[in-house]
Every structure is written in structure tokens, then in C-alpha cells.
Amino acid sequence: MGVGVGPAPQPWPDDPRLDPELLREGDRRNVVDRYRYWSVEAIRDDLAPTRSALHVAIENLEHDLNIGSIVRTANAFNVGGVHIVGRRRWNRRGALVTDRYIDVHHRPGVSDLAEWARGHGYTMVAVDNPPDSAPLESTRLPERCVLVFGQESAGISAGLLAACQRAVRIEQYGSTRSMNVAAAAAIAMHWWIVQHRRPPVR
């Protein structure tokens, strides 16, 4: 048996948010229960008022498989937007179609991202481990923040790192020099959430 629910029992509710095809065929998407049978457009509209101030930027130089995973985590935290810097085409496999529910922007180069950030009052914070980085765990992240991530093996390029106002690192205690970028992105996004967003009332 797959994820989700099967066809909705009739009679169907008279609700414009519901997708007739999903009602008829079932909803196997990876969405929370409250969005079962809702159309993509209805979900986007419902999420829009509660989007976080947080934005995420990902450098796309080599079609990194981790980009999709980072987008998926960004959707989980309902970030204000994701910026793909560099190549327009990116590997969507790991996103599991979650990119449909958030705003994904293409920035052709570093200067395009930096110009957007300046124009909207955002601080660019690199998540990497250059010599002058500060420990993430002891850093108060700005509310209007763009968390910037590089490629899996190479990290953030020198040009993009230079455009960031701050750099933070995740302290590690094992033998590896760096952790997977998708894992690092999830940790950094959650640290911003802890500082700036109260959990919903259940």
C-alpha cells in the first residue's frame, strides 16, 4: 500500500480548494493530512501568509543531487524563497515535487543574488568552514537572512563567499572535514527557526 489516501468517498465536499482528479484517483503525495486532496495552487495560497522571512541560496555549478534535498527541507520550514545561483537547470529528484509549493528563483550569478539581497534588506550568511567562520551554535542569525550553501565537494565558491557578510560553521567532532551539504542545510535552517519562529499550536 502506498503513501497517502485512496479515492475520497462521495458525496464530495463543495470546496474549491479540492482537486477533482485527486478526489477521484486518490492522493498519494507527500503532504500533511490537512492538505489531502487540495490542489497545488490551493496549498501554495494557504502557505503564503505564513512563509518565513528566511531565504536559502544554493550554488548550482555541477548539477548537485543535494539541491533537491535542500529544497525539500526549505519547503518543510516554509521559507520565503529558494535561490538557485548559477545554472538554471537543477536536479529536482531529491525535492520530491516540493518545489511546487514554494518560490524558487534563478539567479544567473553571484552579483544577481547579492543585488537582490541588498535591495530587500537581507544579510547573506555563508554556511561553510572558512578560517574566519563563527560557530553556528553560538551565532544569533539575522531575521532577514539568506543562508548560502555551496556544492557538495567544493563548498561555496570564492566569489560567492566574498559576497556574504558573514560565515558560520557547524562544529564537528569526528574525523571528516565536512558533512553532507543537505544535512548542514537542514541544521542551519532549523537553527534559524529556533531563533525566529514559534512552533504552531497543536
Grid cell for residue 192:
534559524
Q: Region 143-148: what's the mean pLDDT?
A: 98
Q: Which amino acid is located at 10 in the chain?
A: Q
Residue 2 pLDDT level (bands cut at 50, 70, 90): low
* pLDDT, tens digit (0-9, with 9 covering 90-100), for 20-33: 999 999 999 999 99
- DSSP letters for 18-81: B-HHHHHH-B-SS--GGGTTB-HHHHHHHHGGG--S-EEEEEESS--THHHHHHHHHHHTT-SE
- Tell whether the model's pLDDT for residue 8 goes beyond 90: yes
CA 188/CA 160 separation, integer angstroms: 18
Taking only the tens place, the pLDDT of each residue in 101-113 is 999 999 999 999 9
Q: Is the pLDDT of residue 159 over 60?
A: yes
Confidence band for 166, pLDDT divided at 50, 70 and 90: very high
Residue 86 DSSP SS3: strand
d(CA 84, CA 57): 6
Decide if pLDDT at 73 tops 80: yes
Domain extents in the chain = 11-50, 51-196
Does position 1 have pLDDT exceeding 60, yes or no?
Answer: no
Strands 81-86 and 166-169: unpaired
CA-nearest of 56, 55, 59, 70 to 157 is 59
51-196 CATH choice from 3.40.50.720, 3.20.20.120, 3.40.250.10, 3.40.1280.10: 3.40.1280.10
Say if pTM beats, i.e. exceeds, 0.75.
Answer: yes
- Measured from the Cβ of residue 156, the count of other Cβ atoms closer than 10 Å reads 24
pLDDT at residue 92 above 60?
A: yes
Checking if the pLDDT of 79 tops 80, the result is yes
Residues 6+ apart with CB under 8 A from 155: 128, 129, 178
